[in-house]
Amino acid sequence: MICLGIESTAHTFGIGIMNDSGKVLANKKATFTTESGGIQPSKATQHHYLFWEFVLKDTLKKAKLKLSDIDLIAFSQGPGLGACLRVGAVLARTLSSKLSIPLVGVNHCIAHIEIGKLTSGFKDPITLYTSGANTQILAFASGKYRLFGETLDIGVGNFLDSFGRDLGLGFPAGPKIEQFAKKSKKYIELPYTIKGMDFAFSGIQTKLRQLINSKDFNKDYTKEDLCYSAQETVYAILTEATERAIAHINKQEILLTGGVAANKRLQKMLSTMAKDREVRFDTVPFPLAGDNGAMIAWQGILEYKAGRSHKPKETKVSQTWRTDQVDVNWI
C-alpha cells in the first residue's frame, strides 16, 4: 500500500509518500520563513496556496510515481491554524475523490510520535514532543496517548521564535539561537518555571525581553549569552520533567520528536539523563523532525490498516484537537 500524506498545520506545506513497510519514498516541503517578525496566519495560508502544486509534483517526481499509483490519502486534520489546515484538507478531499481512493484525517501531534517510533524501533516510549505550538510528554496507556506533562502556556518552539523575534532573528529562530548559544558559556540567571510535571515559558520570554531592552545589553552580556542561557534553562526544564515521567512509570525508552528535536543541546541533555537512568534514548532523524508529509502518510497507513477512514463530510479541520482525545486503534 502506498499513502500520500499532506501536512499544512502552520508554517510548512509538505507532502510525503510512504509505503506500508515504513519506507519513505519521497518527502518534500515548502516552509514559510521571514527575515524578521513571526508567522502571520494569512501569509502562511497564501504561501500554501502558492506552493501546493509545486510540492505535489516535486514529491511524485522524487518517488517516481504517478497519482494513479497512490492507494490512500492522509492529511493533518488538526491541531493547527484553521486557514492553513483547510488548504491541506481541500487538497486531500479533492485527490481522494478524483482518484476514488480512501481518505484519512489524522492528528498531527500523534503523527510526530508514530514517525519517531518507526525510525527508532521503540515499542512503548515516553515521548518528549517538542515543536512550535506544542510541547508535551506522552506515553501510551489504556487506548490513548496520555499526557504526563505539558506546557501551560506556549510551546518551546514558539518560545524560541518569540525570543528570536525580540533579537530580530526572523522565523524560524530555533536553529539560529542554537548557533549563537555555541559561542557563549556565560549563564545569565532566568526564571526556572516548572510546576510538578508541567512547565511554562512565557515568564522566561518576558525576562529575556527585559534583558534585551536593558541598558546593560551588549555591555554586561551579549545576545550569545542570552541564547546560551535561554537554551540551558528551557532544555533543563524539559529534561527534568521527562526524567520525572520516566521515574514514575515503568518505561524503558525515551523518544524525542518534533521540530525542536533537531537541537543538539536538547538531545545531549536527554541522552545523558537516559544513560544515568539506564533507559534507551533516540531522536527522530532531522528530515522527519519538523512538520512534514511523510509522518502524515505513515500515520494514515497505521490508522487505515486498523480500519479507519473518513468520508469527506467527516474531515472538518480542528484547530484544537488534543493528542489525548484520539482513540488509538492501531496499537
Q: Which parts of this chain interact with ligand AMP (CB under 6 A)? A: 131-132, 157, 160-161, 172-175, 178, 258-260, 262-263, 290-291
Place of cell 484547530: 319
**Bridge partners of residue 73, in order along the sequence:** 4, 103
Report the alpha-carbon distance of residue 139 to residue 286 in Å, rounded.
22
Torsion angle in degrees (nearest 10) through CA of 86, 87, 88, 89: 40
Report the alpha-carbon distance of residue 79 to residue 318 in Å, rounded.
6
Q: Which is nearer to Mg ion, 79 or 164 (CB)?
A: 79
Report the alpha-carbon distance of residue 231 to residue 221 in Å, rounded.
15
Q: Which is nearer to ligand AMP, 161 or 303 (CB)?
A: 161
Residue 242 binding partner per list ligand AMP, Mg ion, none, with a CB distance cut-off of 5 to 8 Å that depends on partner kind: none
Q: Which is nearer to ligand AMP, 78 or 174 (CB)?
A: 174
Nearest approach, Cβ of 325 to ligand AMP (angstroms)? 19
Question: Nearest-CB residue to Mg ion?
Answer: 131
In order, the DSSP letters of 60-83 are HHHHT--GGG--EEEEEEESS-HH
What residues contact 325, with CB distance under 8 A and at least 6 apart? 107, 144
Cis check for the bond before 41: say yes or no (omega within 30 of 0).
no
* Sheet strands (E) in 71-217: 72-78, 103-107, 126-130, 135-141, 144-150, 194-195, 198-199
Residue 262 binding partner per list ligand AMP, Mg ion, none, with a CB distance cut-off of 5 to 8 Å that depends on partner kind: ligand AMP
Nearest approach, Cβ of 161 to ligand AMP (angstroms)? 5
Residue 300 binding partner per list ligand AMP, Mg ion, none, with a CB distance cut-off of 5 to 8 Å that depends on partner kind: none
CB 131 within 8 A of CB 258: yes
Piece of 91-99, 123-131, 268-276, 301-309 that binds Mg ion (CB under 5 A): 123-131
Nearest approach, Cβ of 90 to ligand AMP (angstroms)? 21
Residue 178 within binding range of Mg ion, rule CB under 5 A: no
Piece of 172-180, 181-189, 284-292, 307-315 that binds Mg ion (CB under 5 A): 284-292
Question: Nearest-CB residue to ligand AMP?
Answer: 259
Among 131, 135, 229, 257, binds Mg ion (CB under 5 A): 131
Residue 291 within binding range of Mg ion, rule CB under 5 A: yes
Quote the DSSP letter at residue 123: S
Q: Which is nearer to ligand AMP, 8 or 193 (CB)?
A: 8
Residue 119 binding partner per list Mg ion, ligand AMP, none, with a CB distance cut-off of 5 to 8 Å that depends on partner kind: none
Cis check for the bond before 102: say yes or no (omega within 30 of 0).
no
Retrieve residue 18's grid coordinates: 510512504
Nearest approach, Cβ of 133 to Mg ion (angstroms)? 7
Nearest approach, Cβ of 258 to ligand AMP (angstroms)? 4
Nearest approach, Cβ of 265 to ligand AMP (angstroms)? 8
Quote the DSSP letter at residue 233: H
> Which of 319, 293, 224, 269 is closest to 75 using CA atoms?
293
Retrieve residue 261's grid coordinates: 528535536
Nearest approach, Cβ of 158 to Mg ion (angstroms)? 11
Nearest approach, Cβ of 217 to Mg ion (angstroms)? 32
- Give the binding site for Mg ion (CB under 5 A): 131, 291
